Structure 1
Amino acid sequence: MADWTIRPQLKALGGIANVIVIGGEYKQYQVLANPNKLKHYGISLQELQAAVEAANVNTTGGFYNEFGNQYNIKGEGRAYDVDDLQEGLIKEVNGQAIRIKDVAEVKVGRLLTPLGIAFITSVLTSLVVAVTVTPVLCSYLLKKEKLLQKQSEGTRVERWLRKGYSGMLNKSLKYSKLVIGGTVAIFLVSLVLFFQLGRSFLPEFNEGSLVISVVGTPGMSLKESNKTGKRVEELLLEMPEVDVVTRRTGRAELDEHAQGVNAAEIDAPFTLQDGQSKEAFFAK
């Protein structure tokens, strides 16, 4: 569900570039073959395995271009529940269709069961240890008065820090007005410095290159998208500041920033003319 239902719906929302699923196991189906039924129908275990694999797969049919639009063709054969999988066809015997459910039992496999069992076991184990082992260890280790008294006083470092803090606190209380006034002054100075600091996470980049995003209408074919990209390249190359451009159209669906063939990115390095400002160049 996370990979095939929730993730595509989240990626379809505006402002979301990518959705990465972390954790969890893949959904599994258990196919328990019946040896007697396999023998009765003359079906081998390899044939059953091949039928199970073929009953849970999507295939691509390429795409079809018409009037400048691109239409994707897809064959959907993925099993979404037990009923879909057990209806898979193995072969025909004497004109009778033998399906997976005729020779095996299909069950919804383990999804989060191992994780749930491990969690419950660890919680129960910790509870047993807390009410049995921990009190026994405490009765043996925490019965010496001298040791407990020594631990309550702390280590040498703790006693030294406590002593130094007490002396500093007593002096601060004697000059309370001076301490408060100094704190307020430092706070005001920090406010002045705060409003003079930069507010951007990264400094402004000046790499001397334009990155232009060209996005056509959804469903635009690769041929039409390529025409649009070439036209934008020609317009950029007419500018004296631009000598070369590079373009990529579309991105693979497993890319971190997947795009359709209707979208393209053009990189255009530029060199400013003598005395020309960057703002004047951008105004073109």
Structure 2
Amino acid sequence: MRNPYRLTTLGRALDIKHSGTRKIIVFTLLAGIFSMLLQFTSETTLQTSLLLSFKAAMMVFLVWAIARELDPDHDNSSFVAVVFTIFNILFLGIQPLIPLLWILLLLRIMNRSVGMRAGIIDSFIIFILGILLSLQYNWIFAMLTALVLILDSRLSEAHRLHLPLGIILAGISTYLFSTAGGRIDLEISLFEMISFIVAVILFLPVIIDSGKITSVGDRTGEKLDPTRVRMAQIVTLGIAFLLSIDSIYGQNYPILYGIMAGIGIYRMLSNKKINEKTDSNFTE
């Protein structure tokens, strides 16, 4: 029997029986409705309102999916990130969806939460996305995509195709960097820097604790590789910082900060609750 996942393997099924799936469906619908209500207070057309509401709902869903990749053992931590995202929509507006999809695909390639390596179509989709986003924003997107592809070709169960693709993207990134004048325009405010530092401080314990991963791949049932999960988390830190200093895309920095901080806050409160329960049992 032919393998149905031979060409594409990065999609994860939504199990409606799972409480987390039902929750994110509710959050996604509420985000869309909430955005629609906000549009009614402005002079936007119905078509524009519907489009913005759809984008708000998808933004919440993608943030949830990204958070699940970064903290696969704790489903509920993703909903703290979702709450931050809703506030982000309220105060900073709806942000581009394609870069979020790009981040999600990079993380799934890196930590292989599906349990399988990327298919041929997946590899070329992320390759093309890296190029298109670099042309729309700047060379950083191609460089980060190249980094993930090359890492995937060197870690356990290496994906050999990703090495030449990563090298090609690195070359494209270098070319785009040179055509931009060979310089990096550092545009990050004091508030942004403080926000990044706080997010990192909250997220570092999650990275340190990733060696204890117990989650398994969706389609294989095999335990995820802790090294891959940790590398995905570290790469996310790099993405968050490098995109923050981008003069074009940098305005969207709160998304990843909120995801990392949300996961860190949940884990901190969760560990505190466990410790208090342990202490209570000990005193009894």
Band the TM-score falls in, shorter-chain normalisation: under 0.3
TM-score by length of 1: 0.15
More helix by share: 2
| Larger strand fraction of residues | 1
Q: Higher Cα Rg: structure 1 or 2?
A: 1
